[in-house]
Each structure stands twice: as C-alpha cells, then as structure tokens.
Chains A and B, each alone.
Chain A
Amino acid sequence: MFYREAGQFKSTYQTDQAIFPIVQDRWFMALVFIVAFVVIPLVADEYWHQAIIIPFLILALAAIGLNILTGYAGLVSLGTGAFMAVGAYSTYKMSTAFPDLNIIIIFLLSGVFAAMVGMVFGAPSLRIKGFYLAVATLAAQFFILWVFNKVEWFFNYSPSGTITAPPRELFGVLVTGPEASPVARYYVCLVFLVVFAFAAKNMARGRLGRSWMAIRDMDIAAEIIGIRPLQTKLSAFGISSFYCGVAGALYIFCWLGSAETEAFDILNVSFPVLFMVIIGGLGSVLGAILGAAFITLMPIFLTNAPPMIGIHLAADLQKHIEEIILGLMIITFLIVEPAGFNRLWQIAKEKIRKWPFPY
C-alpha cells in the first residue's frame, strides 16, 4: 500500500512521461547512486573491484548494447565480441598514435568506429532474419577477429600479438594502464554505464525505440506506417555496436590491461553477453544490467556459498554446476518468461503495490 501511483496524480503528460514516474522509484534510484558512487569505492577492496564490479559494469554496458539490437529491434547477433574488439583495437591504435588526445574522446570515437563496422555487417539484416542472421553475425565475428589477428598493423607489430593499454590520465589521475588504481578505473566504467544506460532508456522510450519495437513485432505494419526497415535496422546495429565498442575499449583499457583477440572470442564474450540479455530480460535496459550482475556474480557465489555450509566442491565440478545452472535458466527464461528478471522485478513491484491485499 505504500508503493503505488495513487495520490501521485499526473496532471501533465510531461510528468507522466518522466523516466521514474513513481516517487518511491526515485528514492530507490537515489539510494543506488549513493551506494555506487560513495559506498562501493569506500568499502570494496581490489579483489572485489577487479574480479566482480568492474567486469560487471563493462559487461552491463555491452549487454545494454546487445539488448538494443536483440531485445528492442529483434535482431539476433552473435557478433558482440567482434564489435567490442573493434572498439578495443580502435582505442589501442588511437591512444598510441595520438598520446595527447583525451582518453574519453578516444573511447567515444572507438564507439563510432564500432558503430560503422556494425552497420556494414548489419546490412544483410534487411533480407535475412532469425537463425540466418545469427549465422551471418557469427561469420562477422570470426572474420573481424581473424583480421585483427592477421593484420599486424592493428597491434603495432608487437611480436606477442597482444595490445596493451598505455597509461593515460584524466583530470591528472591515471585511469588506464597497469598503474591505474582500481577505484579510478571503477569510476570511469561507472560513469560510462550510468550515462549510456540513461541514454539507452531515453532512446528506447522515444520515437527510435518505438520504431525498433515496431519492426520487431510486425515489420509489414511498421513499414505501412512509414517506418523504413533498412534505416531502422541499421540504426539499431549502429547504436548497439557503439555501446559494444565502448564496452570493448573499457574491457581492455580499464579491466584486462592487455589482451589478444582471444579475449573477444565468441565463448568468452558473445555468448555470455547474449545470456545476460536473455536472463535479464529482452527489451529492457534494467534487465541487461540485472542479467550482467547475475552472470558475473554467479561463479563468485558458487565459489563461496557451498564452503559456508560445509560443502567443498572440486573446481571442475563447480564449473560444471555453473554451466548447468546457466543452461537451465536460459531454457526456463526462453520458454516461460522471455521478459527475464526484469519481468520478475515488475511482478514483485506489482505485488508490493497491492500489498497487503491479494488483488
């Protein structure tokens, strides 16, 4: 009875269109922000930052990107890893070629490169759908990584074939490279996630998002309303790949520090990010974030929880259990509740709203 819209009458369409129309939601968001910006940097140690929180932020950004494409526009992609790699290699090339250029600008430009590559490989989506599109993006994934592996220019002819994040500062603080503190890298990733999560939510609830969903739900009717299929699908590919590209840049520069193309492998990135989107909820920004949290936290939970109740699992058994749980969840969500965690969250809110009455 405490969480509800009643008594919060919207007198204008503007307040009705607000991103968090319910007061309690706004309080909740404020709390999340305080925890994210103040509490976590104070309490989290290096292990937490490096093993859990930073990868979560980066993968959440990639998952939002993929959700724009797959959840909102209904275009399945297995090329997430490749589009992230485009962002990472662009950042590497630009930051080594122009050491004085602001690293944030480089991250954003890398996103733009990824967007362009994404649109090129997304062009066939006008003609092919579903499974066939997934296969086409899979081909893009292999092709792009192969190029980054073969063309030595991309890794500046380094004999090991790896790219390494050079040290770069922001406001006088190191944010990339081996010397950068986890807290500094955490803040960079956090700000990117927050800004782009809001941007995604805004696009999703405006004309663009409606066009994506219209093409997803009924492309013929969308076209008859005047929505151009090619433009709309390419915009989804472009914006989605921008997100993935920026995430890929952060992945190397604010997390791994150095990597080869293998880091962007389909099993390392494309599938896990797709699972985040499916488990979190197709077509929801919050869902992508919840999905990323779940998939980054689950292994940690399985490592720590069983010993607490006196069960000691062998490492490989734990890995198997992890895969089984993940597989079961994906099947369950795909069949029973395609809207994922996000939907469960909505149902929970609905229940709280009606509490203590069943209806």
Chain B
Amino acid sequence: MSAEPTVGRKIGDVILDVANVSLSFGGVRALNGVSFDVNEGEVRAIIGPNGAGKSSMLNCINGFYKPTEGMITFKGESHHQMETYESASQGIARTFQNIALFKGMTTLDNIMTGRNLQMKKNFLWQALYFGPALKEELENREVVEKVIDFLEIESIRKTVVGRLPYGLQKRVELARALAAEPDMLLLDEPMAGMNHEEKEDMCRYILDVNDEFGTTIVLIEHDMSVVMDISDRVVVLDYGEKIADGTPDEVRANQRVVDAYLGVQHD
C-alpha cells in the first residue's frame, strides 16, 4: 500500500454523490428515490432492516445494478452507463454479504487478483515468467504481502480459501479489496456472523485502513453498537426509501428510525 499515511483523519469534499436513485426488479421496488453523499475520507454507514435495499444500493454504486432512475457521481464523474468491471479501475473495491472469494485458489492468489489491474504484461511475457513479467509479479507480491501483514493472515498465505473458517474468509476478502488500493471501499456486512472478538478485530482493521490510507469507507452493518462507534454519518433505509441521514447521535434520536429499525429485534 503505497499511499502516504495521512497524519490524523482528514475529511474532504464529496467523493460520491447518489442522487434520486431508484431501482426495480420487475414489480419489486428495491430503491425509491434515494439520495445521499459520501465525503472523502469518511466512514459512512448504511443501515436498515433486512430487505431494505442496502446491498442493492452498493450494487448500484459499483455498477453491478443499473439504477432505473437517478444519477450516481463518483469523483466528479457520473457513471450512468458504467460496465461492472470499470468500477475497479475508478478506485472502488468491495466485499460481499455472502463471501465471494475464489474458493479454489489460495489466500495469496485471491489477494493477488486484487492487483490484476496494476499488472499489464501480456501473455507472452507471462508464459516466459521472466524479465518484466517477473518484476511485475514480484512488485505486486510485495504490495500484497503488506496487506497480508496488515491483516495478520501470514499463516494462511498458501491455504486454499475454501478450507478456511468463515471469519478468516471475511478477512481474506477484505485483503483482496485492499490490495487494489482503492479510494473507496464498500463493505457489505463485514462483521455478520462473527463472534465478539472477531468483530473487534474487524473494526480495528476498518478504522486503521481509513486512518492510515485515507480510504473512504461505505459500510453496511447490523450491529448498532459497531455502527455508532465507527461511522461518521449514517444513512437509514427502510423499504427502499431513505428515512434518516445524519451523525450516529442524530439518527439514534430520530423517531422514524426507532420505529422502523431500532425497535425491531435483529440477530
């Protein structure tokens, strides 16, 4: 991770602007005119009950779903007609609610795929595995090793990820996203299904990434104490609509939120 560590946290201008986004699947309206923005260097949470449209929102942001209406602007560029594979080159990385690792590959290879866009040598060089191709491979390996150190997964480097326990898989997925050195990181329930200790570790990693590299973070999380602890601002979705937006304290005090979400028991 070559980005210069910033001293202290610095919140910049708007990096992501979501304006009036709607998304429908046939009759189901997953998102309905949602607008919010994310500032550079911020930790922004999206919360809401199951089926509220949170994951769909992330999928719109990285171009996997195309909004039926509305506009998404990232770093000043509207990406209305974006192909899914373009989001990575714009500096967006993400993890998934249901882990989406490459099961048959080792931890190291999984994380190395995060460097794919930085690797340019053509297949003939790769077939030789020599000269520029080897140099490129080693340079990127070095970046990956820093991520591996950072997330403390050295011991599982050569393990096939399908055989890892759930908590570690989540960590490898984060590593793969970080290896791309993204400007913005989308995390879909990074702590779901973890025990208390694993959650604490994950929180620390997320805050460290944000702190040291200034990476903007948009995260979906169900554990309210976690959300309140680590996020700067929170968007609340319910049935595809935004019902609140503000600092954790403001959101907690909002009556609609209390009715729709906080009052309901989630596991």
What residues make up the interface of A, taking CB atoms closer than 8 Å to B?
Answer: 13-14, 17, 19, 199-200, 202-203, 205-208, 210-211, 213-214, 216-218, 220-229, 235, 239, 283
Contact yes or no, A220 B145, CB < 8 A? no
Note all chain B residues with C-beta closer than 8 A to A211: 113, 116
B7 CB–A CB distance under 8 Å: no
B36 CB–A CB distance under 8 Å: no
Note all chain B residues with C-beta closer than 8 A to A202: 126-129
Given A222-B113, A223-B84, check contact A208 B126 (CB 8 Å): yes
Given A221-B100, A221-B102, check contact A206 B129 (CB 8 Å): yes
Q: Which of B133-141, B206-214, B253-261 contacts A (4 or more CB under 8 A)?
A: B133-141
B94 CB–A CB distance under 8 Å: yes
**Within the assembled complex, what's the spacing in Å between the Cα atoms of A203 and B137?**
12
Note all chain A residues with C-beta closer than 8 A to B104: 213, 216-217, 283
**Within the assembled complex, what's the spacing in Å between the Cα atoms of A211 and B96?**
19
- Interface extent on B, as a size class? 35 or more
Q: Knowing that A216-B102, A218-B101 are A-B contacts, what are 8 other residue pairs whose CB atoms are under 8 Å apart, sorted by A's residue number?
A: A207-B137, A217-B105, A218-B102, A220-B64, A220-B100, A223-B84, A226-B88, A226-B117
Contact yes or no, A224 B129, CB < 8 A? no
Contact yes or no, A227 B116, CB < 8 A? yes
B183 nearest CB across to chain A (Å): 14
Contact yes or no, A207 B85, CB < 8 A? no
A161 nearest CB across to chain B (Å): 37
Contact yes or no, B123 A225, CB < 8 A? no
Note all chain A residues with C-beta closer than 8 A to B129: 19, 202, 205-206
A68 nearest CB across to chain B (Å): 11
In the complex, per-residue mask of B52-65: 1 if CB is within 8 Å of any chain A CB, else 0:
00000000001010
What residues make up the interface of B, taking CB atoms closer than 8 Å to A?
Answer: 62, 64, 84-89, 93-94, 96, 100-105, 109, 112-114, 116-117, 119, 121, 123, 126-129, 133-134, 137-138, 141-142, 145, 176, 180
Point out the residue from B64, B100, B103, B138 that lies within 8 Å of A14, measured CB to CB. B138
Contact yes or no, B100 A13, CB < 8 A? no
The 7 closest A-B pairs by CB, nearest first: A226-B88, A221-B100, A202-B129, A217-B102, A199-B127, A206-B126, A207-B119
Point out the residue from B127, B138, B141, B176 that lies within 8 Å of A203, measured CB to CB. B127
**Within the assembled complex, what's the spacing in Å between the Cα atoms of A355 and B198?**
36
Of A200, A210, A223, chain B has the most CB atoms within 10 Å of the CB of A210
Contact yes or no, B123 A208, CB < 8 A? yes
Contact yes or no, B134 A227, CB < 8 A? no
Contact yes or no, A225 B105, CB < 8 A? no
**Within the assembled complex, what's the spacing in Å between the Cα atoms of A225 and B92?**
9
14 pairs of residues in contact across A and B, judged by CB atoms under 8 Å:
A13-B145, A17-B134, A19-B129, A199-B127, A207-B112, A208-B126, A214-B105, A217-B102, A218-B102, A220-B100, A221-B100, A224-B62, A224-B64, A225-B88
**Within the assembled complex, what's the spacing in Å between the Cα atoms of A170 and B89?**
48
Contact yes or no, B113 A225, CB < 8 A? yes
Note all chain B residues with C-beta closer than 8 A to A283: 104
Note all chain B residues with C-beta closer than 8 A to A235: 123
**Within the assembled complex, what's the spacing in Å between the Cα atoms of A229 and B103?**
18
Point out the residue from B86, B89, B96, B126 that lies within 8 Å of A221, measured CB to CB. B96
Note all chain B residues with C-beta closer than 8 A to A218: 100-103
Given A14-B134, A207-B121, A223-B85, check contact A214 B127 (CB 8 Å): no
**Within the assembled complex, what's the spacing in Å between the Cα atoms of A110 and B99?**
43
Note all chain A residues with C-beta closer than 8 A to B134: 14, 17
**Within the assembled complex, what's the spacing in Å between the Cα atoms of A239 and B123?**
9
B64 nearest CB across to chain A (Å): 7
**Within the assembled complex, what's the spacing in Å between the Cα atoms of A220 and B112?**
17
Contact yes or no, B94 A210, CB < 8 A? no
Contact yes or no, A213 B105, CB < 8 A? yes
Note all chain A residues with C-beta closer than 8 A to B127: 199-200, 202-203
A207 nearest CB across to chain B (Å): 4
A217 nearest CB across to chain B (Å): 4
Note all chain A residues with C-beta closer than 8 A to B87: 224, 226
**Within the assembled complex, what's the spacing in Å between the Cα atoms of A199 and B116?**
20
Contact yes or no, B89 A226, CB < 8 A? yes
Contact yes or no, B103 A210, CB < 8 A? no
A243 nearest CB across to chain B (Å): 11
Note all chain A residues with C-beta closer than 8 A to B113: 210-211, 214, 222, 225, 227
B127 nearest CB across to chain A (Å): 4
Contact yes or no, A228 B85, CB < 8 A? yes
**Within the assembled complex, what's the spacing in Å between the Cα atoms of A199 and B86?**
30
Note all chain A residues with C-beta closer than 8 A to B126: 202-203, 206-208
Contact yes or no, B141 A13, CB < 8 A? yes
Contact yes or no, B123 A221, CB < 8 A? no
Contact yes or no, A225 B176, CB < 8 A? yes
**Within the assembled complex, what's the spacing in Å between the Cα atoms of A122 and B219?**
39
**Within the assembled complex, what's the spacing in Å between the Cα atoms of A225 and B86?**
9
Note all chain B residues with C-beta closer than 8 A to A221: 96, 100-102
B9 nearest CB across to chain A (Å): 27
